[in-house]
Amino acid sequence: MAAPDPDRDTRPAPPGCPEGVCGSEVPPLVGSVLTGTGLTVAQAAAALARGEEPALTDVQRRIAERWALEH
């Protein structure tokens, strides 16, 4: 049996959005920039490594943490 994917959101889909992805939601990442933060993934990872708390969503934080592990 495969291990659960830690990046998969297992919460129930919100009402009116049965697929769990709605057109009104902003993507967490555009290119290498974390949406709404002005930070690249590398910058966010470095900030987290320094003990800073950049304003990231849970998904963005996981992206930055995974990037740090892989680089």
Model pLDDT for residues 22-57, shown as the tens digit of each residue: 666 778 999 999 999 999 999 999 999 999 999 999
Residue 13 within any structural domain of the chain: no
Rounded-to-integer distance, Cα 12 and Cα 68, Å = 29
| Domain span holding position 37 | 29-70
* Number of domains composing the chain: 1
Alpha helices in the chain (DSSP H): 41-49, 58-70
What is the pTM (predicted TM-score) of this model? 0.67
Q: How far is CA 66 from CA 6, 12, 19, 20, in A?
A: 10, 24, 25, 23
| Chain-centre distance for alpha carbon 71 | 17
Q: What's the 3-state SS for 19-32?
A: CCCCCCCCCCEECC
Q: For residue 54, is it within any domain? A: yes
Residue with tokens 């998969």: 8
